[in-house]
């Protein structure tokens, strides 16, 4: 579920010495990637637990999609947001490197937390 904390995480990715103008335009996409990566990586576990209190279930219920269609749409939206971030940050090496380092660590943390909670 959306809590708003993803925006705090998004801003904390970048060094405090980096001017806001170097990355602020991609904060919304960073928040999307943070939220949806968690939803995508926890999908299987939540399905096995019959957990319906999640974003994918809400997508299926509100839009009449199958779970697979909703998951595919969520993956596509997440990939597009990630590519948009990389394109925007490309000419800004310090911001780009900070985002890539965060995202690599975030994916690993999400995968490991899913494995340990199974």
Output the CA torsion 73→76→78→82 (10° steps). -170
CB atoms within 10 A of CB 75: 15
What are the residue boundaries of the structural domains of the chain, listed by start? 5-116
pLDDT digits (tens, 9 = 90+) for 5-15: 889 999 999 99
**What's the pTM value of the predicted model, to 2 decimals?**
0.82
pLDDT digits (tens, 9 = 90+) for 17-76: 999 999 999 999 999 999 998 889 888 888 888 888 888 889 999 999 999 999 999 999
Would you say 98 and 46 are in contact if contact means Cβ atoms under 8 Å apart? Answer: no
């Amino acid at each position: 579920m959306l809590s708003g904390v993803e925006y705090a995480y998004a801003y904390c990715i970048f060094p405090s010495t980096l001017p806001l103008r170097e990355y602020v335009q991609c904060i919304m996409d960073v928040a999307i990637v943070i939220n949806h990566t968690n939803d995508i990586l926890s999908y299987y576990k939540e399905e096995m637990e019959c957990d319906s209190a999640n974003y994918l279930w809400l997508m299926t219920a509100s839009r009449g999609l199958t779970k697979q269609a909703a998951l595919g749409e969520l993956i596509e939206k997440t990939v597009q947001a990630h590519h948009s971030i990389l394109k925007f940050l490309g000419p800004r090496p310090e911001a780009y490197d900070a985002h890539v380092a965060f995202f690599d660590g975030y994916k690993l943390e999400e995968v490991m937390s899913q494995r340990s909670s199974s």
